[in-house]
Structure 1
Amino acid sequence: MDLKELTAFQTILQEGSFAKAAAKLNYAQSTITNQIQRLEKELGFQLFDRGWEAELTPAGQIYAAEVDRLIQHWHYVSDQAKAILREETGTLRIGMLEMLARQIMPEALSRFREEKPHIACQFVIGNTDLAASELRRKQLDLAICGEPPELKGLRFEPLHEEKIVFAAAKDHPLHLHGEGKLPFQELLPFPMVVGGPTCLYYLHLSRQLARFDSMPLLHSVSQISAIPGFAARPPFIGVVLASTPLSDQVKPLAVDWEEPTIPVGLLDRRDTVYPSAARERLIGIIKEVWLTEA
């Protein structure tokens, strides 16, 4: 068997028919049929019931469950062999939170380039929800983000704990509170500027607000780094992560509340059985930089 035959079989499963698979691969339908027939001959059993367009036989169902792993293994062995003959080349696609793009990745990329000068990196900046979605769609090789509420098909390795911070302009009335921490309810009369509903901390904040009879007016911003700009204008309170840079006009509020910690780390697909050496080295460098920055 060869990779084209495995790819043809995989595409039929994904598209649902021989005709759609042929269109997807830009083949004639007869080419797809011939590839499957050769694969069946080499395997020694029939994959599809010929009475149906793409109905798997019982043996075909067992083989289908392993075809992704077989193709991954094929690429892995090929990549390993090529790496011996020449320098590694290619592209890694990494999703990440905005704060990490500012703090961790510039140094990590600099170190990675010294070891893998011919590997390009594409960074997709977004929240945890976007990273999880793109990983499931196989549009990313790796993500560095929070832990999504639903981990089906994914695995998460925590590396860092983030905290939520309330910040306001230096001349905000709440900064005149005096000594000690502000009771949380004293924040409620003031409008808050927060990240969107899929942001890392939104659920934690929502649970806290749900404990009170009154709710502050919430304004949402998709980029957390933009929130301090709004917080510089009283009476707004900005709700950010502890790693978010604040301007000189804004400072954190000392608030008495059940402050949650939010895990941030590496998010990956569980079906990544044969990761590339370049990808694994980038992960190692990210961990090294994270420990240095912590």
Structure 2
Amino acid sequence: MDLKELVAFQTIVQEKTFSRAAEKLNYAQSTITNQIQRLEKELGIQLFKRGWDVQLTPAGQIFAAEVDHLIRHWNNTAELARSLQQDEVGTLRIGGIESAIHRILPDAIRQLQQQKPRITCQITTGNTDRLIEELQSDRLDFAICGSPADASAFYFDPLYEEKIVLVADYNHPLCHSVSASFEDILDYPLTAGGPTCLYHLQFAKYLSCYRKSPALIHSVTPISMIPHMLRHTAAVGVVLESTSLIPGIQQLDLKLGLSPIPVGLLQLRQTYYSPESAAGLLQQIIRGPIQK
């Protein structure tokens, strides 16, 4: 059974004769007759009573009542298949560290929707280690995160670098000091991201270079909460430079001897997205404003 046979049957029912149906469809009458014979053979039923007039059999009447629905379903399915082939329908599974999600994805997804309006996005926030696990388990298409410790199975495309900075309440003594050093920071409680934070390992190694230990270390996840935890306290916060600060919290004028942390697009090495695909297009959009 194919669409032409269904349309031929529908047109015969509408036009009441084989000849008018053939004329409307621009077919020879023999073509219409052959199509109906094939349809009857495939269905295993007789659709028309034999004779000069077009008369439906009881089975043909039941089929005629459903043929419009069958043709619409056929056309809708074909349209959906064409859309899927063009990557215009589906779901993108995107992961990202917290700072990247807030900084990059909202505008990028809005731009994607203008070109791929039938694409939906499923966004997962997590640390780099968790996002790596999601990629390996095929639960993400790609992620925006730090570079993996073992990059053999991944392709990492750097986008920008994150700097680690120190922040504190505006009334903190160190906010008004012009000669403060990092050792001075260690006299106060520290509030930093937990073990899964992008900078945790690097900052922990940095602390180990000092004989003096911090007064106290509070662990907070996500790090966007750290500025809120510092209000009206003597604690010093360790955050990424992209972290949004709230009124009353400011960055300390103190340089840390820490290397910037690369953040980029991460996907499995064997995965490739064409520029025309939704995933490929979104990656291009993400790269665009960052590289300017």
* Same fold per superposition (TM over 0.5): yes
Note if 1:192 corresponds to 2:202: no
Shift, 1:151, TM fit: 2.1
For structure 1, which runs of at least 5 residues remain unmatched after alignment?
Answer: 1-80
Q: How does 1:3-152 map to 2 (within 5 A)?
A: 82-83=82-83, 88-152=88-152
Paired residues of 1:104 and 1:289 also in contact (CA < 8 A): no
- Please give the per-residue CA displacement for 1:12-67, whole angstroms capped at 9, x wherever unaligned: xxxxxxxxxxxxxxxxxxxxxxxxxxxxxxxxxxxxxxxxxxxxxxxxxxxxxxxx
> Which of the residues 202, 205, 209 maps onto 1:204?
202
The corresponding residue for 1:268 is 267
Change (3 A) 1:110 1:214: same
Paired residues of 1:135 and 1:141 also in contact (CA < 8 A): yes
Paired residues of 1:129 and 1:199 also in contact (CA < 8 A): no
Shift, 1:87, TM fit: 6.8
Q: Distance in 1 between matches of 2:86 and 2:139?
A: 26
The corresponding residue for 2:25 is none
C-alpha RMSD over aligned residues: 1.9
Three-state SS of the structure 1 residue aligned to 2:163 is strand
The corresponding residue for 2:254 is 255
Paired residues of 1:129 and 1:148 also in contact (CA < 8 A): yes
Paired residues of 2:169 and 2:249 also in contact (CA < 8 A): yes
The corresponding residue for 1:156 is 156
Q: Distance in 2 between matches of 1:233 and 1:148?
A: 37
Three-state SS of the structure 2 residue aligned to 1:245 is coil
Change (3 A) 1:234 1:120: same
Q: Distance in 1 between matches of 2:174 and 2:86?
A: 62
Task: Give runs of ≥4 in structure 1 deviating > 2 Å.
Answer: 81-87, 273-276, 289-292
Change (3 A) 1:257 1:290: closer
Q: Distance in 2 between matches of 1:87 and 1:136?
A: 23
Q: Distance in 2 between matches of 1:209 and 1:284?
A: 38
Which structure has the greater CA radius of gyration? 2
The corresponding residue for 1:280 is 280
Aligned residue-pair number: 210
Three-state SS of the structure 2 residue aligned to 1:94 is strand
Note if 1:213 corresponds to 2:211: yes
Shift, 1:100, TM fit: 2.1
The corresponding residue for 1:75 is none
TM-score (norm 1): 0.67
Shift, 1:277, TM fit: 1.2
Change (3 A) 1:174 1:120: same
Shift, 1:86, TM fit: 6.6
Three-state SS of the structure 2 residue aligned to 1:213 is coil
Change (3 A) 1:84 1:101: closer
Paired residues of 1:162 and 1:261 also in contact (CA < 8 A): yes
Q: Distance in 2 between matches of 1:140 and 1:184?
A: 39
Paired residues of 1:201 and 1:262 also in contact (CA < 8 A): yes
Paired residues of 1:113 and 1:119 also in contact (CA < 8 A): yes
150-159 or 106-115, which moves further after superposition?
A: 150-159
Shift, 1:129, TM fit: 1.3
Three-state SS of the structure 2 residue aligned to 1:104 is helix
- Please give the per-residue CA displacement for 1:50-91, whole angstroms capped at 9, x wherever unaligned: xxxxxxxxxxxxxxxxxxxxxxxxxxxxxxx83487772000
Note if 1:235 corresponds to 2:234: yes
